[in-house]
Amino acid sequence: MIALLASSFLYLAWLDLHYPLIDTIFAIIALYLLLEAPKRVWFFSGFFIAIFWFWWISMSFRYYGFPWAIPIGILSIALVYGILFWIIAWFAQKIQEKSSIHALWIKSILLLSFSYLHPFGFDWFKPELMFVQSFIGIEKWHFAIVLIALILFIHQKKIFYLVLLLFAYQPSNTIIDTKALPTTTLVTTYISINDKWNPALLSSQIALVKEKLQQSIEEKKELIIFPESVLPLYLNKEADLIDFFTQKSHLISIVIGALYNDKGIPRNSSYIFDKGTLKIANKVILVPFGENNPLPDWLGEIVNAIFYDGAIDYQASSTISDYSINNKNYRNAICYEACSEELYKNRPKEMIVISNNGWFTPSIQPTQQKLLLLYYSRKYKTKIYHSSNMSASYLIYQNE
């Protein structure tokens, strides 16, 4: 029941049902039940929350030739979070036994800090995300007020303490715009992973890019943004295409996703063509296991040899990239990394995100990605332009 209530916001959003009051009530009840629960319930709550939130991660195994590993991947993720939840309850109980501090306070402090735990570098689990489309704010202090109100209510059994929840009241004023923008084209493509990396279909994908580009020029757009790896090739090795985009950039600025061959090192990159110039922005935060193996080198080599035909890992850029288009500064973000706190360092005002969600569709992943982008847009007041493959593109901004 705890896991279902804590996941309801995600599946309601997936069904395109937006009820802030329901999201608020279900999240508060989930936290109330969790705080009161014993260790065993904490374990199974974490176990099933991980399944409901992250079952989609293993869907990419289909494209690596081992779909049989999907249930193993789901179970492994669930066990990791189940154990982490159990440790919180166990530690809280031990502290209570050896001090005068009630376990509820320890549970709350650790739950408040949970978003700073990143198993294998994966940081998509944030308990406060439950409130992203509710009447409650998403800052840590909002979450702290909710937990304090629930602890006092549990201790005193007086509904009066729930009035404290009013101090965490902050309904979202964030807009998600999927309509045509006056000066910018957010390209959405629907190319499956199998088709994307099929050499026989490369020419048709290049033709599609050129068609979208020409259409935007005719519509007098100033900027066009293509999804991640919309060109499944090392673009810096394609002189004719580089020259083509450079010439077109005098008519329209272009942000396009492709691979980058950095002296034999593969990188996932954004190519920015603007007024005859080219800038390349490489991905900073790589997908654990998907692009980079977070295991120790010796173990990572074994895993790559068994599951990835010995392919070498992508290499991440050491610095976050910002670039300017038409006198406006943008933070570069490629898919997974846009949902990481690190990319919002120094509170960028504008961010361009390009994604390829084909690895995980059909699933709830695009919805969860959208909610995380919504969360960061609310938290850092960042306007986000998102162009995606296999899921809708959109603009997220604050309605000030």
326 by Cβ neighbours in 10 Å (0-12 / 13-18 / 19+) ranks as exposed
As a whole number of angstroms, the distance between CA 137 and CA 216 comes to: 38
State residue 318 phi and psi, 5-degree precision. Answer: -85, -15
Q: How far apart are CA 209 and CA 213, in angstroms?
A: 6
| pLDDT value, residue 72 | 94
Measure the CA–CA gap between 102 and 96, rounded to whole angstroms.
5
Helix (H) or strand (E) holding 224: strand 223-225
SS (H, E, C) 92-134: HHHHHHHCCCCHHHHHHHHHHHHHHCCHHHCCCCCHHHHHCCC
The secondary structure of 132-195 as a DSSP string is TTSSB--SHHHHHHHHHHHHHHHHH--GGGGGGGGGGB----EEEE-SPPSSEEE--B---HHH
Determine the pLDDT at residue 119: 82
Q: Give the span between the Cα atoms of 11 and 148, in whole angstroms.
A: 27
* pLDDT at residue number 286: 86
* Rounded (10°) angle between helices 20-36 and 103-113: 130
- Please identify every residue annotated as catalytic: 228, 283, 335
- Find the helix or strand (DSSP H, E) in which 6 lies: helix 2-14
pLDDT in tens for each of the 400 residues of the chain? 999 999 999 999 999 999 999 999 999 999 999 999 999 999 999 999 999 999 999 998 898 888 999 999 999 999 999 999 999 999 999 999 999 899 999 999 999 999 888 887 788 999 999 999 999 999 999 999 999 999 999 988 889 999 999 999 999 999 999 888 999 999 999 999 999 999 999 999 999 999 999 999 999 999 999 999 999 999 999 999 999 999 999 999 999 999 999 988 899 999 999 999 999 999 999 887 666 655 555 555 555 555 555 555 677 878 999 999 998 999 999 999 999 999 999 999 999 999 999 999 999 999 999 999 999 999 999 999 999 999 999 999 998 6
The two three-digit tokens of residue 37, written as one number:
């629960």
First CA to last CA across the chain, in angstroms?
37
Residue 120, pLDDT score:
73
Quickly list DSSP for 279-303: EEEE-SSPPBTTTB--S-HHHHHHH
Which residues contact residue 168 at a Cβ distance below 8 angstroms, ignoring those fewer than 6 apart?
A: 136, 137, 142, 143, 145, 146, 149
The rounded Cα 199 to chain-centroid distance in angstroms is 29
| Number of other CB atoms surrounding residue 156 within 10 Å | 10
CA distance 351 to 395: 10
Beta strands 277-282 and 322-325 are: unpaired
Structural domains of the chain in order of their starting residue, each with its CATH number: 2-172 (no CATH), 175-284+319-398 (3.60.110.10)
Backbone phi, psi, residue 351, to 5°? -140, 135
DSSP 20-69: HHHHHHHHHHHHHHHHH--HHHHHHHHHHHHHHHHGGGGGGGGGGT-GGG
292 vs 254: CA distance, rounded Å? 28
Q: Which of 23, 166, 38, 169 minimizes the C-alpha distance to 93? A: 38
Residues 6+ apart with CB under 8 A from 391: 188, 355, 357, 361, 366, 369
Q: How far apart are the C-alpha atoms of 54 and 73, rounded to whole Å?
A: 10
